């Protein structure tokens, strides 16, 4: 008996040392499963939990959890199960306006990452950049969340605010306070710029984008423009059929637009089906926010129509997804194939290199300054450094750029406030911050080096 107690003591000690506590009151019983039926184990687990779990079990949660686990096991950031609310959010993003911050996000190596902010959106205005990694939403970690779960935390009613903590490569952690707004359906913007050149910006590929582009081309051609600059920067992609439809306008009939390779290696080749509509010189601007369908179009126009690409390397998304809806409107989005450029290249996680590499001025990539924060003498933060660099870019060259708000910085801030008709107190508060950001944004527009180079390259073709 004594030895028996000693044995029990040793076992308990070993369990506690291992950090594990068991309170098993019955011996384990094996559960039979049919090796010929891969779902028998799943059904048995469901039955066990339904019958024996110590609390009532929500059947819907069990089933949806199983489906999510199945899809997550693919370890593919573009394949996800979406419950009813998540599926509705996904559908809105493709087909209609919605309320939120206006940024495309994806899961990348277990993190939630910005693919691209949408043109004119709150996300773009505050300075979110492609490949910013979201760490927290309203002080809640997004670690372990799916893309759709993160989207539901970020979205909200127009006029409400959301706080994002992001990690930016080479910069560190940044905090953004963003006021949600209505993100419009319009995806194509056009205008006539210098020397009667037409400029078209495409912000994403939704259900109406092909029609919008056709209308823009008709309007610009009616104005007898001499050439076109197609701006695909910060375009996160969207519907593949729209990319095919739109590329067809620029590529000769019979030329390859896209190849799609399935799991067996079989390839389906998509070619231009119509005579091209655009017979003018064209250049395309791309950057790190050009992704997916945006990359399809950029590659097609470059490789099959000889159109030069100007800017920076694209994002690098080379897979195709489809979504299947269930009767309750929940759905599963999953990857069906790789897409390849006309010459057969797979650009996934590599991106497309521009023909002519051009970066924006350094001040175009400065981090956001939160207008709700007060920056004053004695502060030493990344926001102080950003403010100093912005002020220097605006012509206040005597300012320090060390990130420490010293007396010289206060002096320069007072001068800036006086020049702009603001309250002169030497602190960077809401009105001063907003004015600095406004002037920097105007300066970026006035000094768009990528657009300037695209125009220059276009003129060489005239």
User: Is 321 an annotated catalytic residue?
Assistant: yes
Distance CA 83, CA 69 (A): 13
Distance CA 392, CA 409 (A): 11
Sequence-separated (6 or more) residues with CB below 8 Å from residue 400: 388, 406, 408, 409
User: Is 317 an annotated catalytic residue?
Assistant: yes
* Candidates 119, 204, 317, 453; catalytic one: 317
Taking the mean position of all CA atoms in its chain, how far away is CA 37? 40
Residue showing tokens 């970690």: 141
Cα 362 to Cα 27, 176, 232, 435: the distances in Å are 67, 20, 20, 19
Both tokens of residue 388? 């100093």
CB atoms within 10 A of CB 122: 22
Residue showing tokens 């913007």: 189
Q: Where are the beta strands (DSSP E) in 2-158?
A: 80-82, 98-100, 103-108, 111-117, 133-137, 140-141
Longest dimension (CA), the chain: 103
* Candidates 201, 292, 304, 450; catalytic one: 292
Sequence-separated (6 or more) residues with CB below 8 Å from residue 223: 192, 196, 198
Q: Where are the alpha helices (DSSP H) in 73-208?
A: 84-95, 122-126, 147-154
- Say if residues 266 and 319 touch (Cβ distance below 8 Å): no
Distance CA 221, CA 216 (A): 9
144-183 residues labelled b (16+ CB within 10 A) or e (exposed): ebbbbbbbbbbbbeeeeebebbbebeebeebbbebebbeb
Q: Give, for 282, the enclosing helix (H) or strand (E).
A: strand 282-286
Distance CA 321, CA 319 (A): 7
* Candidates 33, 111, 221, 321; catalytic one: 321
Q: Is the dihedral of CA 95, 298, 364, 154 positive or negative?
A: positive
Instruction: List, by residue number, the catalytic residues.
Output: 292, 317, 321
């Amino acid at each position: 008996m004594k030895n028996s107690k000693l044995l029990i003591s040793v076992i308990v000690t070993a369990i506690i040392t291992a950090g594990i506590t068991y309170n098993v009151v019955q011996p384990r019983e094996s559960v039979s499963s049919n090796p010929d039926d891969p779902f028998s184990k799943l059904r048995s687990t469901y039955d066990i939990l339904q019958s024996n779990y110590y609390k009532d079990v929500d059947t819907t949660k069990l089933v949806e959890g199983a489906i999510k686990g199945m899809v997550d096991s693919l370890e593919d950031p573009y394949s996800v199960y979406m419950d009813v609310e998540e599926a509705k959010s996904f559908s809105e993003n493709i087909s209609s306006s919605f309320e939120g911050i206006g940024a495309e996000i994806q899961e990348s190596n277990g993190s939630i990452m910005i693919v691209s902010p949408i043109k004119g959106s709150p996300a773009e205005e505050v300075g979110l950049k492609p490949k910013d990694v979201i760490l927290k939403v309203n002080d809640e970690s997004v670690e372990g969340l799916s893309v759709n779960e993160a989207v539901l935390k970020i979205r909200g009613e127009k006029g409400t605010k959301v706080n994002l903590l992001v990690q930016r490569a080479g910069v560190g952690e940044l905090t953004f306070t963003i006021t949600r707004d209505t993100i419009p359906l319009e995806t194509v913007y056009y205008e006539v710029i210098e020397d009667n050149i037409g400029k078209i910006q495409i912000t994403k590929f939704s259900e109406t984008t092909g029609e919008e582009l056709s209308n823009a081309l008709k309007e610009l051609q009616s104005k007898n423009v001499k050439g076109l600059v197609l701006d695909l920067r910060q375009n996160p992609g969207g519907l593949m059929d729209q990319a095919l439809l739109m590329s067809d306008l620029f590529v000769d009939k019979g030329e390859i637009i896209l190849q799609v390779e399935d799991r067996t290696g079989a390839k389906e080749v998509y070619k231009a089906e119509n005579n091209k509509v655009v017979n003018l010189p064209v250049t395309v601007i791309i950057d790190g926010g050009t992704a997916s369908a945006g990359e399809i179009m950029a590659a097609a126009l470059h490789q099959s129509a000889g159109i030069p690409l100007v800017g920076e390397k694209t994002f690098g998304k080379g897979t195709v997804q489809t979504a299947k809806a269930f009767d309750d409107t929940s759905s599963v989005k999953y990857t069906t194939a790789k897409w390849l450029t006309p010459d057969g290249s797979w650009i996934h996680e590599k991106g497309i290199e521009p023909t002519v590499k051009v970066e924006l001025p350094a001040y175009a990539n400065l981090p956001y300054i939160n207008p709700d924060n007060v920056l004053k003498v004695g502060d030493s933060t990344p926001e102080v450094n950003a403010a100093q660099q912005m002020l220097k870019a605006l012509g206040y060259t005597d300012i320090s750029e060390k990130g420490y708000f010293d007396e010289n910085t206060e002096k320069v801030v007072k001068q800036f406030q006086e020049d702009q008709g603001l309250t002169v107190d030497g602190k960077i508060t809401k009105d001063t911050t907003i004015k600095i950001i406004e002037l920097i944004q105007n300066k970026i527009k006035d000094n768009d080096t990528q657009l300037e180079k695209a125009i220059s390259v276009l003129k060489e073709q005239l």
